[in-house]
Amino acid sequence: MGLALLAVIWLITFVSAYFFIAKTWWLPTGVAAAAARIDHQFAFTYLVMGIVFVLAQCSLGYVVWKYRDRGDASKAVYSHGNTNLEIVWTVLTAILFVGLNLMGSPIWAAERFQPAEEGALPVEVTGMQFAWYFRYTGPDGKFGLTSPKLMDPSSGSEAAIGLDTSDPAAKDDVVTGTMVLPVNRQVDLTLRAVDVIHSFFVPNFRFKQDAVPGLAIHMHFTPNQIGDYEIACAELCGLGHYKMHGVVKVVSQEDFQKWLTAREAEKQ
Amino acid sequence: MATSEIVHAHAAPQGFIRKYIFSLDHKVIGIQYFLLALSAVWVGMVLSLLMRIHMIWPQANLPIFGHIQPETYLSILTMHGTIMVFFVLTTAPQGGFGNYFLPIQIGAPDMAFPVLNMLSFWTTFVAFMIMLAAFFVNGGAPLHGWTGYPPLSAMQSTGPGEGLGADLWITSIAIFCAASLMGALNFITTTLDLRAKGMSMMRMPLTVWSWFITAILGLLAFGVLLSAGILLLMDRNLGTSFYVPLVVVNGQIMGHKGGSPLLWQHLFWFFGHPEVYIAIVPGMGVTSQLLSTFSRKPIFGYKAMVYAMLSIGFLGFMVWGHHMFMSGMNPWSAFAFSILTMCIGVPSAIKTFNWLGTIWHGKVRFYTPMLFAVGFVSLFVSGGLSGPFLAQPTLDIPLHDTAFVVGHFHLIMGVAAIFGIFAATYYWVPKMFGRMMNETLGKIHFWFTFVGTYTIFMPMHYLGMAGQPRRYSQFTEVAYLQHLIPLNRFITYAAIITVSAQVVFVINLFWSMFKGPRASDNPWEATTLEWNTTTPPPHDNFGGHTPVVHNGPYEYGVPGAARDYVMQTDPAVSTSPAH
* Closest CA–CA distance from residue A262 to any residue of chain B (Å): 28
pLDDT tens track for A99-154? 999 999 999 999 899 899 999 999 999 999 999 999 999 889 999 999 999 999 88
- Point out the residue among A80, A94, A112 whose CB comes nearest to the CB of B578: A80
Interface check B560 vs A, CB under 8 A: no
Q: How many CA atoms lie within 13 A of B485 on its CB side?
A: 16
Question: What is the C-alpha to C-alpha distance for residues A205 and A222, in angstroms, rounded to an integer?
Answer: 8
Q: Where are the alpha helices (DSSP H) in B84-113?
A: 99-105
Question: What is the C-alpha to C-alpha distance for residues B463 and A26, in angstroms, rounded to an integer?
Answer: 8
**Other Cβ atoms closer than 10 A to B402:** 27
Q: Where are the alpha helices (DSSP H) in chain A?
A: 2-21, 35-66, 83-112, 157-160, 168-171, 253-267
Interhelix angle for B368-385 vs B261-295, to 10°? Answer: 140
Residue of chain B whose alpha carbon sits nearest to that of A10: B378
Question: What is the C-alpha to C-alpha distance for residues B100 and A91, in angstroms, rounded to an integer?
Answer: 38
Residue A118 has φ and ψ, to the nearest 5°, of -55, 140
**Is B537 contained in some domain?**
no
Cα angle A209, A214, A215 (rounded to 5 degrees) comes to: 40
Question: What is the C-alpha to C-alpha distance for residues A77 and A92, in angstroms, rounded to an integer?
Answer: 26
**ipTM passes above 0.85:** yes
Residue of chain A whose alpha carbon sits nearest to that of B246: A214
**Is B211 contained in some domain?**
yes
Question: What is the C-alpha to C-alpha distance for residues A149 and B336, in angstroms, rounded to an integer?
Answer: 40
* Closest CA–CA distance from residue A156 to any residue of chain B (Å): 11
Interface of A with B in 48-87 (CB under 8 A): 49, 52-53, 56-57, 59-60, 63-64, 67-70, 74-83, 85-86
Q: Which of B512, B519, B531, B517 lies closest to B442 in space, CA to CA?
A: B512
Interface check B397 vs A, CB under 8 A: yes
Q: Do B397 and A111 touch (CB under 8 A)?
A: yes
Q: Do B346 and A93 touch (CB under 8 A)?
A: yes
The residues pairing with B505 across neighbouring beta strands, listed in sequence order, are none
Q: Exposed, middle or buried: residue B546 (CB in 10 Å: 0-12, 13-18, 19+)?
A: middle
Residue of chain A whose alpha carbon sits nearest to that of B364: A68
DSSP code string of B363-408: -B---HHHHHHHHHHHHHHHHHHTHHHHTSHHHHHHHTTBHHHHHH
C-beta separation of B270 from B224 below 8 A: yes
List chain A residues with CB under 8 Å of B268: none
Interface check B307 vs A, CB under 8 A: no
Domain range enclosing B427: 291-517
- Are B255 and B299 members of one domain? no
C-beta separation of B52 from B492 below 8 A: yes
Q: Do A162 and B248 touch (CB under 8 A)?
A: yes
Question: What is the C-alpha to C-alpha distance for residues B199 and B179, in angstroms, rounded to an integer?
Answer: 28
Residue of chain A whose alpha carbon sits nearest to that of B352: A56
A11 Cβ contact list (under 8 Å, min separation 6): none
Q: How many CA atoms lie within 13 A of B200 on its CB side?
A: 5
- Are B391 and B500 members of one domain? yes
CATH topology of domain A121-267: Immunoglobulin-like (2.60.40)
Question: What is the C-alpha to C-alpha distance for residues B43 and B139, in angstroms, rounded to an integer?
Answer: 20
**Is B528 contained in some domain?**
no
* Closest CA–CA distance from residue A82 to any residue of chain B (Å): 7
- Are B6 and B147 members of one domain? yes
For A185, A214, B149, B244, the CA distances from B256, given in Å and listed in that order, are: 39, 11, 16, 6
Q: Which of A179, A213, A184, A208 lies closest to A196 in space, CA to CA?
A: A213
- Point out the residue among A42, A52, A74 whose CB comes nearest to the CB of B385: A52
DSSP code string of B183-232: HHHHHHHHHHH-PPTT--GGGS-HHHHHHHHHHHHHHHHHHHHHHHHHHH
A99 Cβ contact list (under 8 Å, min separation 6): none
* Closest CA–CA distance from residue A223 to any residue of chain B (Å): 15
Q: Which of B281, B275, B284, B390 lies closest to A97 in space, CA to CA?
A: B390
Interface check A114 vs B, CB under 8 A: no
The residues pairing with A18 across neighbouring beta strands, listed in sequence order, are none
Structure confidence at residue B578 (pLDDT): 44
Pairing label, strands B248-249, A207-211: unpaired
Helix (H, G, I), strand (E, B) or coil at A32: strand
Interface of B with A in 348-377 (CB under 8 A): 349-350, 352-354, 356-357, 359-366, 371, 374, 377
**Is B390 contained in some domain?**
yes
- Point out the residue among A85, A98, A240 whose CB comes nearest to the CB of B339: A98
Question: What is the C-alpha to C-alpha distance for residues B144 and A180, in angstroms, rounded to an integer?
Answer: 32
Interface check A265 vs B, CB under 8 A: no
Give a three-class secondary structure readout of A98-142: HHHHHHHHHHHHHHHCCCCCCCCEEEEEEEECCEEEEEECCCCCC
- Are B226 and B171 members of one domain? yes
pLDDT means per 10 residues, chain B with 579 residues, are 49 81 95 97 97 94 90 96 98 97 97 96 98 96 96 95 96 98 97 96 97 98 98 96 96 94 98 96 98 97 97 96 96 94 94 96 96 98 96 96 97 96 98 97 98 97 96 93 95 97 97 95 97 94 93 94 93 63
Q: Which of B467, B491, B517 is the last residue of a domain?
A: B517
- Are B220 and B314 members of one domain? no
* Closest CA–CA distance from residue B486 to any residue of chain A (Å): 12
The residues pairing with A146 across neighbouring beta strands, listed in sequence order, are A163
Cα angle B166, B168, B169 (rounded to 5 degrees) comes to: 60
* Closest CA–CA distance from residue A135 to any residue of chain B (Å): 18
Question: What is the C-alpha to C-alpha distance for residues B576 and A233, in angstroms, rounded to an integer?
Answer: 61
Q: Do B564 and A232 touch (CB under 8 A)?
A: no
Q: Which of B473, B491, B517 is the last residue of a domain?
A: B517
State the virtual CA torsion across B499, B502, B503, B506 in degrees, nearest 10.
Answer: -150
Q: Which of B366, B300, B358 lies closest to A68 in space, CA to CA?
A: B366
Q: Do A80 and B366 touch (CB under 8 A)?
A: no
- Are B247 and B316 members of one domain? no
For B66, B126, B315, the CA distances from B62, given in Å and listed in that order, are: 5, 30, 45
Interface check B553 vs A, CB under 8 A: no
B517 Cβ contact list (under 8 Å, min separation 6): B435, B436
* Closest CA–CA distance from residue B342 to any residue of chain A (Å): 5
- Point out the residue among B295, B365, B401 whose CB comes nearest to the CB of A199: B401
DSSP tag of A173:
-
The number of helices, as runs of H, and strands, as runs of E, in chain B is 18, 6
Structure confidence at residue B8 (pLDDT): 54
* Closest CA–CA distance from residue B297 to any residue of chain A (Å): 6
- Are B299 and B255 members of one domain? no
Q: Do A203 and B398 touch (CB under 8 A)?
A: yes
Domain positions in chain A: 2-69+81-112, 121-267
List chain A residues with CB under 8 Å of B69: 239
Rg of chain A in Å (alpha carbons): 26
Residue contacts between A and B (CB atoms, under 8 Å):
337
* Closest CA–CA distance from residue B340 to any residue of chain A (Å): 9
Q: Exposed, middle or buried: residue B133 (CB in 10 Å: 0-12, 13-18, 19+)?
A: middle
Question: What is the C-alpha to C-alpha distance for residues B271 and B273, in angstroms, rounded to an integer?
Answer: 6
**Other Cβ atoms closer than 10 A to A18:** 10
Question: What is the C-alpha to C-alpha distance for residues A152 and B222, in angstroms, rounded to an integer?
Answer: 41
The residue type of A256 is: F
- Point out the residue among A26, A78, A214 whose CB comes nearest to the CB of B260: A214
Number of domains making up chain B: 2
- Point out the residue among B144, B159, B557 whose CB comes nearest to the CB of A75: B557
- Are B245 and B304 members of one domain? no
Question: What is the C-alpha to C-alpha distance for residues B323 and B266, in angstroms, rounded to an integer?
Answer: 9
Question: What is the C-alpha to C-alpha distance for residues B471 and B403, in angstroms, rounded to an integer?
Answer: 9
* Closest CA–CA distance from residue A205 to any residue of chain B (Å): 9
The CATH number of the domain holding residue B179 is 1.20.210.10
- Point out the residue among A68, A81, A108 whose CB comes nearest to the CB of B579: A81
Residue of chain A whose alpha carbon sits nearest to that of B459: A16
Q: Do A153 and B261 touch (CB under 8 A)?
A: no
Neighbour-count burial for A92-117, b at 16+ CB within 10 Å, e otherwise = ebeebbbebbeebbebbbebbeeebe
Residues lower than pLDDT 50 in chain A: none
Q: How many CA atoms lie within 13 A of B312 on its CB side?
A: 27
The residues pairing with A131 across neighbouring beta strands, listed in sequence order, are A128
**Other Cβ atoms closer than 10 A to B302:** 27
Q: Do B398 and A19 touch (CB under 8 A)?
A: no
**Is B574 contained in some domain?**
no
Interface of B with A in 409-448 (CB under 8 A): 443, 447
C-beta separation of A221 from A186 below 8 A: yes
Interface check B249 vs A, CB under 8 A: yes
- Are B312 and B194 members of one domain? no
Structure confidence at residue B26 (pLDDT): 97
